[in-house]
Amino acid sequence: MSGRGLNASQMGGQAFADWMDAQNPVFGRPNWNRFQAVMDNLGNQYAQDLFVYSVDLGAINSGASAIGQINIDRKSAFEAVMLTGGGATEAGGVFSPLNGIDLTLVSGDGSRSLMQRAVPTANMLGTGDFPAVLPINRRFMPATQLSVFAHVYDTANMADVQVALIGRKIWMDAIPGAANQALPRFNTWQDGQSGLIYSEDLFYYDFALDSLANNTTTPVIVLFEAESDFEWILTTGSSLTTEGPAVDATSTPVSVQVIDTGDGRRLFNNPIPMGMIAGSGQQPFVVPQPRIFTAKSSIEVDFTNTSGSTVTHIHFTMIGRKIFEQD
């Protein structure tokens, strides 16, 4: 009967064995089964381990805002894979992302905002049973401070607001035996035909209306940033009910039309109910063909309300990645 452990040759030879012996204070024991590795697209390998960073912003009253910080460990990078969180009302309400809270996430490595405007928690945080899986992992470098700006647009006060990033710590130095290069800040690749080098970063573009009256069509135009193209991968949507909690796109009685104003291209032949083209923070709509919008493009989303009553706090969120061309 063979043993369950891995030997040094399976892990890459003596260099790996020596390296792992030096990591015992980090991983707690010398056995191989405590070791996990991640390989980048250049062939570098790094040690990694499960980790969750969270921030508790406490109580936030209706109409008020709060700021919290997550401080990434100085000895390791962190790669966020999932997001969860939400808020609980003072009246003993259930902790949920559907309470009317919106967030802006700003990473201290270059003061990079991850969205062009605040995005409702209903559109980006999922739940504990269905966490929001990011379209690409978002890497935070060691000693980075992530600022979380929260605002309550619900009519109810929030007794507690929390956000959690679920993913993995990655130790920066490459493992001996693979190409020895420190972990880069962004995922980077080279085009095989043009030779150009590109990198990517997570981003949210949110199209929002505070109010939309019945039998009304209102356009919302967003100018995509000049520094990068944007690839649309996931879609979420929500609105606010008269009782307070947000509802996802399926329960939002609004139709949308998306227009790339740069070339005049309409992406739908007719306006489509948001529930057919946008999901939620728990189950986002996956675009079957990711759509790239070039830098400086103007994108228009036309919202149409034929529900018979006014719909408030409408959000249609495109989630994907910025793509940068390196100098």
Domain range list for the chain: 46-174, 196-325
CATH 2.60.120 fits 196-325, yes or no: yes
Close Cβ partners of 282 (under 8 Å, ≥ 6 residues apart): 97, 126, 127, 130, 132, 248
Judged by average pLDDT, the poorest of 185-199, 269-283, 291-305 is 185-199
The pLDDT score that the predictor gives to residue 65 is: 97
pLDDT, greater one: 212 or 183: 212
pLDDT, greater one: 12 or 69: 69
The pLDDT score that the predictor gives to residue 254 is: 95
In CATH, the number for domain 46-174 is 2.60.120
Q: How many residues does the chain have?
A: 327
Q: What average pLDDT does the structure give for the chain?
A: 85
SS (H, E, C) the chain: CCCCCCCHHHHCCHHHHHHHHHCHHHHCCCCHHHCCEEECCCCCEEEEEEEEEEEEEEEECCCCEEEEEEECCCCEEEEEEEEEEEEEECCCCCCECCCCEEEEEEECCCCEECECCCEEHHHCCECCCCEEEEEEEEEECCCCEEEEEEEECCCCCEEEEEEEEEEEEEECCCCECECCCCCCCCCEEECCCCCCEEEEEEEEEEEEEEEECCCEEEEEEEECCCCCEEEEEEEEEEEECCCCCEEEHHHCCEEEEEEECCCCEECCCCCEEHHHHCECCCCCEEEEEEEEECCCCEEEEEEEECCCCCEEEEEEEEEEEEEEECC
Nearest Cα to Cα of residue 295 among 225, 221, 209: 225
Residue 213 has phi, psi (to 5 degrees) of -75, 160
pLDDT above 70 for 151: yes
pLDDT above 90 for 208: yes
CA distance 209 to 295: 24
* DSSP bridge pairs for 49: 169
* Mean pLDDT (whole number) for 283-305: 94
* pLDDT-derived band at 188, boundaries 50, 70, 90: confident
Phi-psi region of 284 (alpha: psi -120 to 50; beta: other; left: phi over 0): beta
CA distance 65 to 149: 7
CA distance 239 to 274: 10
Close Cβ partners of 13 (under 8 Å, ≥ 6 residues apart): 177
pLDDT, greater one: 320 or 184: 320
Residue whose token pair is 């309470």 = 99
